[in-house]
A and B are shown apart, each in its own frame.
Chain A
């Protein structure tokens, strides 16, 4: 019998639907702003719709906060900082944060399902990655609250004040946790602005924070658009800005705060190199490539979007990769078999498609897995490009979607140069079974996170953040605390 191709096998064997139940999810029709421990209507009276990118259907109305709402939130945060949070025994502060982590764990499945509905990410990832990491982040930083003097020996450690935090749509709840947990542990109060397309889990987190009994004003959530974020950045009584998002907006923020004494940490874009050497365990490497670029639909700032394969194994790796791509299931985010869910928004899908067109126009060869994309909703087939140069637009610019560019190299020196030849410096991957080669590469790659024989791993104890135009400051671990303390 002739050997069947992956494509043929896929047509014979299909998965039955395995949807995660969403019956238990309780969402309100309309969400207000969470300011000073209360749900308050936006000053403008305006609301906007948040929708499910897998169906394009509306989920809820969300308050559109403006500068007056931000001012109210900052005042509440300042009051809570001065009167309560900075004065509280650090061990008591810790207990509040532990409580948040515990309630999140209790409500983990609910959070995971809502995350999928609002963002388009798949339930397997939301359930096993986003939500547990978010809970654990609170749990980890809670314990630091009364141990700060151990983190910064020989230095006087103080909190900063009111932190304005602006987060992206790719890991909505996890980014909220990355921002809020260390800020609270160090004794600061917070005004958080979730991304406009994914506000729901941050609002659920506000409910949890309320349930945990945190003093009013310690955490405030103001939903809205870019102008809402700008109001936070420009507010005179904000002491610290923490932003995760695009490099373009990061630069706008830096310009806006120039000449003020606001502290800033930025976690921005990337175009990370994932490097496969000829002695790598290729089966594992192919899984690593897939995880590197197709995890979370490629909406990952540290995505391994520039693949470099050593020339003598390139044909084999690309063939294996194409075969593996054929087996990826693209579809309903809430189905437990789905590997790749919906693209977060119509706008983002347009951006990805624009880059795919540019790649084709530049003369690169494109390969997409042969799948029928769902009829409604925003979807993009896993895509790879070969035969392009370092100067190609799709090699240089962050696409933020399931689009991989593949280049080859002969020597290690060559690949180090090529990998570092970018304005970004967020992450890198190296695949080889030779330990000495690993450290040669990992020490020379200019990136804040380097994965050797693995990719896209995250942990609350592990500092994350970039070199060069990928931003500055670290989040996570001991080093992540530093962004939220004043040392002298």
Chain B
């Protein structure tokens, strides 16, 4: 007799745990033949709010971690993903993506994580400056993470779109709440399992599955979210997000990239979610001795 396989229940990823949606709702994910392959959590606004609380709680610790440590953790995510390469490919195929495309997508995702792992302890050096003010002060500008970021994932790829946006944001010390592409929820949740086993503290990345049309407005308007990154949106959606973002002057970043392009990565995706801070301190100059000798 053929062995009966054990199916996986796909749940949300919030605060380092895998809860079901509090709403108890689901949507059916169909494969190319119209067969149901999973009952996916249809996350509610309340799930989103819970995820923001988790992300805010994780924000202080993650942003203050040594950049070197963040670098190692991002690299660890890449390692964990590589070991699950076959699983990711199979899962992408089950969601209707061709084998060759799925392979490229997973490989690029891993490579992109390695790329951003390398940036963690370098971007502040590149983006900072010591400013030669005319008064006797030491003055420098450096960058700091914005805080909690809403991410509305692009809808072109199942895994790569999500990784390409999340990696630079967390490399820069932010925490995120991501809404996965509606038609590709499975790889997003499997990616959460990778994060969960990669020393990424709970709450740094939170992943929801559900309907864009339902959550978009709330992800843009939440008063404790510092920025929103969004992709794959229509003109009307863009306008809605921009208007809903105004009340707490949320930074709204529309990202339109072809992530399948190997070069679709770079410092700018980290910088987009950083604030510049300038610090001043007086320099004592009594007696007039100079540094000449």
A: residues with CB less than 8 A from B are 136, 155, 247, 250-251, 254-255, 257-259, 266, 268, 423, 438, 442-443, 447-454, 457, 459, 461-465, 467-469, 471-472, 474, 477-479, 487
Are the CB atoms of A452 and B281 closer together than 8 Å?
A: yes
> B133-167: contact bitstring with A at CB < 8 Å (1 yes, 0 no)?
11101010100101000000000000000000000
Of B50-58, B77-85, B205-213, B243-251, the one with at least 4 CB within 8 A of chain A: B243-251
Contacts of B280 in A (CB 8 A): 449-452, 454, 457, 462
Are the CB atoms of A254 and B141 closer together than 8 Å?
A: no
Are the CB atoms of A423 and B248 closer together than 8 Å?
A: yes
Contacts of B277 in A (CB 8 A): 447-450
Contacts of A487 in B (CB 8 A): 268
30 contacts between A and B (CB under 8 A): A251-B246, A255-B243, A258-B246, A259-B235, A448-B276, A448-B277, A448-B278, A450-B277, A452-B279, A452-B281, A453-B281, A454-B280, A457-B133, A457-B280, A459-B133, A459-B139, A461-B139, A462-B278, A463-B278, A464-B278, A465-B276, A467-B146, A467-B275, A469-B248, A471-B249, A472-B251, A474-B276, A477-B129, A479-B141, A487-B268
CB distance from A271 to the nearest CB of B (A): 14
CB distance from B242 to the nearest CB of A (A): 4
B131 on the A face (CB < 8 A): yes
Contacts of B245 in A (CB 8 A): 254
Known A-B contacts A479-B141, A487-B268; A259 and B242 likewise in contact (beta carbons under 8 Å): yes
| Bound complex: CA A454 to CA B138 (Å) | 11
Contacts of A469 in B (CB 8 A): 248-249
B: residues with CB less than 8 A from A are 129, 131-135, 137, 139, 141, 144, 146, 226, 235, 238-239, 242-243, 245-249, 251, 268, 275-282
Select one of A447, A457, A477 contacting B135, CB under 8 A.
A457
Q: Report, nearest first, the 9 A-B pairs whose CB atoms are least far apart.
A: A259-B239, A258-B242, A459-B133, A461-B131, A258-B243, A254-B246, A452-B281, A450-B279, A469-B249
Are the CB atoms of A479 and B251 closer together than 8 Å?
A: no
CB distance from A141 to the nearest CB of B (A): 14
Are the CB atoms of A462 and B133 closer together than 8 Å?
A: yes
Are the CB atoms of B141 and A462 closer together than 8 Å?
A: yes
Are the CB atoms of B249 and A463 closer together than 8 Å?
A: no
| Bound complex: CA A479 to CA B246 (Å) | 23
Are the CB atoms of B129 and A454 closer together than 8 Å?
A: no
Select one of B129, B144, B226, B246 contacting A468, CB under 8 A.
B226
Known A-B contacts A451-B280, A462-B133, A463-B278; A259 and B139 likewise in contact (beta carbons under 8 Å): no
CB distance from B256 to the nearest CB of A (A): 12
